[in-house]
Amino acid sequence: MPTPNKSSVSHRRTRRDHATETAEDYVEAIAETHNSAGTCRVRDLAIHFGVSHVTVTRIVSRLQGEGLVTTAPYRPIELTPQGKRLATASRKRHETVFRFLVSLGIDREIAAIDAEGMEHHVSPQTLKRFAELADKNAASPD
């Protein structure tokens, strides 16, 4: 195997980020649905993501195999402790990216859409700086 250069390292990280995106989005949505409705079912996720029940069932099955959720036929979807940790971390990243974009003057609706994709690809170092700048911009008088 050839020695990786900076470009290949970047692409490898992007592929890894893409591989975890769906899991992060789903555990975050499950946590949000539980918080608002008290329970989460396949139907709730199908509506949330605008996908078929079959798609949600496949993804939930994968998440179950990864130890992030538990469920059974005709039963609600529950996050495992590992799934809860991932949901919390995903929510924090999402909120930080959103706050940063809003602090730049981006419309809140656009910032929400942009944050949804960006949150998965921001390094911890960049995320930390986003938080610092969002806090600084929020504290500055206009």
Q: Which CATH architecture has domain 6-139?
A: Orthogonal Bundle (1.10)
The predicted structure's pLDDT at residue 87: 96
The Cα 61–Cα 68 span in angstroms is 10
Q: Determine if the pTM surpasses 0.75.
A: yes
- Long-range CB pairs of 76-81 (<8 Å, 24+ gap) are 76/39, 76/40, 76/41, 77/30, 77/40, 77/41, 77/42, 77/45, 78/40, 79/27, 79/30, 79/31, 79/34
Query: pLDDT tens track of the chain, all 142 residues?
Result: 556 666 655 556 555 555 588 899 999 999 999 999 999 999 999 999 999 999 999 999 999 999 999 999 889 999 999 999 999 999 999 999 999 999 999 999 999 999 988 888 888 999 999 999 998 887 766 5
